[in-house]
Structure 1
Amino acid sequence: MIKSGILLFLCLFSLQFVQAQQEFTYDNQVYSPYIKTVQLYNTQKEQSIPELTLGSSEKLSFSFDDLRGGSKNYWYTVEHCTYDWKSSGLSVLDYLDGMNEDRIIDYAYSSKTLQKFTHYTLTFPNDQIKPRISGNYLLKVYEDGDPKKAVCSQRFYIVDQQVNIKSEVTPSNEVSLRTSNQKINITVVHPNPIQNPYQDVKLVLMQNGNPLTAKLNAKPTYVKPGSLIYNELDGNDFKGSNEFRKFDFRSLRYKAEHVQDLFTDSTNNILLFTDVNGSAVRYTQQIDENGAFFIRNQDNRDNDTDSDYGRVQFTLNVAAPGTNGDIYVVGRFNNYTLTDENKLTYNTSKKRFYTNLFLKQGLYDYQYVWKDKTTGNVDTTVLEGSFFETENNYQAFVYYRRPGSRWDELIGYSLFSTIQH
């Protein structure tokens, strides 16, 4: 009887622990090991930043796979957030037209694949849920209509373009960093007066859509009539990093770019060629997709339901950058998040770092990052190198909180590339 009571207590404790772990965070996250290949982008361009213009006909495409197969009862809602990704604390009535939640009813079963899965899709804004104000938003997906059963969450942006953003890319002002860093200068041109720009306006810059690179400008450097200038001597200095590594496993029948071997046992296995330290002396130009990935297959017809999954083995031959830290493999495919799943482990006999990721057929960009356990700092260039010549995309977001307002509007967005300057 005592043993039964202990077991019951442990089961309840475990259940509570799992549920606690599934509370939503205001970030791009996957909360279930069965959920794979989460995608969210503007339908005008695959894998674009998930932003759209307020009141326009633009749509966002959202999708994911459930490896359990069958059909599940998935629901979703969206929540308005502050410029720094916290809850705005607004009533749903303040920021949504229509309902505050709805079911995801579009799904399709996998076909001709070794790994069975169900592919779920959602396009919004739609007749059920439509944001009515600009700003940062979090899409939240949960099971059985219960927000405590978190499945995944994705950030997106609704823009009410009220300003014009002019950008300039120059070498770093610091002489020692001129060959490795890209300095971004921004001018925000606003036709309407802004009473207190030093307090009410925020500028956020991001490289290649990677939240790990985001830089907040809380105040402009200069304020001129009709414009705000952000060009501090040491401000917005980004490491140029390097072009992304990439591999191609659109086919499970032949070995494509950077694939050393393919074989199938209980699952599909893809062994990539061993990667080495990317910190070369000189920059080498190569075409990449700035961290994006594209689900494709050359074996069947439908990319969404006919693309199979495989266990992809990454191998890295480097010396650890420090004595107390971890190496992760990241890209848009995992939202650049650092988890146990994409952390590399060191094999002392082979003197290599390894990890295996369960990925869907397609084209993938990726890079290795180092996280120092002592400081918590993430270095995206110690294993990749950093060059001013690297082609990068940058995103600029301008937020404005009007005097007396309760939320941050997103009044400007700009996407620009270093090769356009």
Structure 2
Amino acid sequence: MLKIRLIYSILSLFLFCNSALFAQVEKEIPPPFHIKTVAFVQNDQNKVPIFQLGEGFQLEFDDLYGNEANYYYEIVHCNFNWEPSPIPKIEYLQGFDNQRIQDYINSFNALQLYSHYKLSIPNQFTQQLKVSGNYILKILDENRDVVFSRKFILFEDLATVPIQVKRARTVNTLVSKHNLDFSVKSNSLTFQNPLKNVKVVLLQNGQWHTAIQNIAPQYTIGNDLIYKYDTETQFWAGNEFLFFENKDIRSASNNVARINAKTDIYSAYLYTSAARANTPYTFMQDVNGGFVVNNLNAQKNEIEADYVWVHFSVSAPTFRLNKNIYVTGMFNNYALTDENKMDYNPEKAIYEKAILIKQGFTNFQYTIADSKGNIDYENAIDGNFFETENDYTILVYYREAIDRYDRVIGKGNASSINIIN
């Protein structure tokens, strides 16, 4: 019996070492066309998926096939670099995953048939996520193939992150970038070798594709880590998000020019946007890329809000044709996919795209990227202005010498509405 246990332990150690050696970075997989309105929800509001350890939340999405298909879920804990952590699932998850999502309901009074799914964490099978850090939530079909996946982060309240948003310190980007000065403080932890064991991630409006990482502390004062860089912590400021509102799909409202009701599903044609890069900055209230599902005549928006073909168009005569323009926002997870790529109309000399979107209030932006998905922030169609109001989040990761995974020990937030010189 002792020999069997010894062999089992050696095999387990070999498997963990082997999996760590060949671990691949987990990337978000965009959903297929029939999966729409994927959102993390907390207290009935769409959220950037950064939650405190122990808090409950939901992942919700619609299946336009409306056939009550069976979907399953898997939760994977990852290290700072989004490689799966070399710890067994029992150490970070109390209960089980790989269970069928049982909370779903079909649409009601909507032209577009769909099934609305809701996965609550925790639930009767997954009672608790026990450790902080990076997570990948995978939605699987009946064959256990991944339909789509989303990142989320759980953090502990063990460190504070005071942040100041400042104008850039470099002359050539003085009016077009934001710079973050911040520090990491903790009364609960004594940082061991912070240059190696502490890592930070800087996020603008919750977007991972613009994240700044691997910034070491510039210096320390006791147990406080100080970050006051000139260029390493700068973001292109961008411009305020554009928006449209169609909570009543039968009438044109905010930024909707006209409605076409002669098709099976309503079409909403937005006013053509003009490139704002070479015009003065104008303040426009936004929700930094977010969206709200809303049907003015409904009682239960999640199943009574309808889908609409939203027709986007932008006039960008000086745009360079060797790159692509995408319509992005939280509503499509800023995905640079063909479904969101605009087409050039030579007769009208504008870029156009029709996207199926659930009705309500939606922020969006026009994103320039090459064929490899590299985004051109500097030459953004709508420009970069230091006056732009952005939300910034800083996550602090920590791994002591004896730890086998990266914890998220603190989170800081700031808005550039309070920018200083």
Tell me the CA shift for residue 234 of structure 1.
1.3
Aligned to 1:83: 80
**Larger deviation: 230-239 or 162-171?**
230-239
Q: Which amino acid in structure 1 is aligned with residue 35 of structure 2?
A: I
1:218-367 → structure 2 map (5 Å cutoff): 218-264=215-261, 265-319=263-317, 321-367=319-365
Please give the secondary structure, in 2, of the residue aligned with 1:341.
helix
Tell me the CA shift for residue 25 of structure 1.
7.7
Aligned to 1:386: 384
Please give the secondary structure, in 1, of the residue aligned with 2:340.
coil
**Larger deviation: 118-127 or 205-214?**
118-127
1:14-53 → structure 2 map (5 Å cutoff): 26-41=26-41, 43-44=42-43, 46-53=45-52
For the structure 1 residues 97 and 338, does the alpha-carbon distance in structure 2 shift closer, same or farther, using more than 3 Å as the test? same
1:357-410 Cα offsets, whole Å, 9 max, x none, are 011111100000111348934327520111111111011100011103221101
Tell me the CA shift for residue 203 of structure 1.
0.6
How many angstroms apart in 2 are the aligned matches of 1:107 and 1:380? 43
1:14-40 Cα offsets, whole Å, 9 max, x none, are xxxxxxxxxx98344333221111011
Q: 2:178 aligns with which of 182, 187, 208?
A: 182
How many angstroms apart in 2 are the aligned matches of 1:381 and 1:123? 41
Residue 153 of structure 2 is aligned to residue 157 of structure 1: yes
For the structure 1 residues 335 and 358, does the alpha-carbon distance in structure 2 shift closer, same or farther, using more than 3 Å as the test? same
For the structure 1 residues 48 and 261, does the alpha-carbon distance in structure 2 shift closer, same or farther, using more than 3 Å as the test? same
**What root-mean-square deviation, in Å, do the aligned CA atoms of Structure 1 and Structure 2 show?**
1.8
Aligned to 1:6: none
For the structure 1 residues 28 and 109, does the alpha-carbon distance in structure 2 shift closer, same or farther, using more than 3 Å as the test? same
Please give the secondary structure, in 2, of the residue aligned with 1:327.
strand
Q: TM-score, normalised by structure 1?
A: 0.89
Q: 2:410 aligns with which of 364, 389, 412?
A: 412
**Larger deviation: 341-350 or 279-288?**
279-288
Tell me the CA shift for residue 88 of structure 1.
1.7
How many angstroms apart in 2 are the aligned matches of 1:345 and 1:279? 20
Q: 1:73 aligns with which of 57, 65, 70?
A: 70
Please give the secondary structure, in 2, of the residue aligned with 1:68.
coil
How many angstroms apart in 1 are the aligned matches of 2:295 and 2:311? 19
For the structure 1 residues 349 and 281, does the alpha-carbon distance in structure 2 shift closer, same or farther, using more than 3 Å as the test? closer
Q: TM-score, normalised by structure 2?
A: 0.89
Q: 2:197 aligns with which of 195, 200, 208?
A: 200
Q: Which amino acid in structure 2 is aligned with residue 175 of structure 1?
A: V
The answer to whether the Cα contact below 8 Å between 2:236 and 2:377 also exists between their aligned partners in 1 is no
Aligned to 1:103: 100
1:187-246 Cα offsets, whole Å, 9 max, x none, are 000222111111111110010011121001341111221111111121211111111000
Please give the secondary structure, in 1, of the residue aligned with 2:338.
coil
Please give the secondary structure, in 1, of the residue aligned with 2:91.
helix
Residue 96 of structure 2 is aligned to residue 124 of structure 1: no
Q: Which amino acid in structure 1 is aligned with residue 169 of structure 2?
A: N
Please give the secondary structure, in 1, of the residue aligned with 2:339.
coil
In structure 1, runs of 5+ residues without a counterpart are 1-23
How many angstroms apart in 2 are the aligned matches of 1:208 and 1:27? 19
The answer to whether the Cα contact below 8 Å between 1:369 and 1:380 also exists between their aligned partners in 2 is no
The answer to whether the Cα contact below 8 Å between 1:29 and 1:152 also exists between their aligned partners in 2 is yes
% identical aligned pairs? 33
The answer to whether the Cα contact below 8 Å between 2:245 and 2:253 also exists between their aligned partners in 1 is yes
1:265-317 Cα offsets, whole Å, 9 max, x none, are 12211111101101144221111010001100113322111111111110111
Please give the secondary structure, in 2, of the residue aligned with 1:333.
helix
Q: Which amino acid in structure 1 is aligned with residue 176 of structure 2?
A: S
Aligned to 1:10: none
Please give the secondary structure, in 2, of the residue aligned with 1:415.
strand
In structure 2, runs of 5+ residues without a counterpart are 1-23
The answer to whether the Cα contact below 8 Å between 1:104 and 1:121 also exists between their aligned partners in 2 is yes
The answer to whether the Cα contact below 8 Å between 2:167 and 2:178 also exists between their aligned partners in 1 is yes
Q: Which amino acid in structure 1 is aligned with residue 38 of structure 2?
A: V
Residue 129 of structure 2 is aligned to residue 114 of structure 1: no
Please give the secondary structure, in 2, of the residue aligned with 1:346.
strand
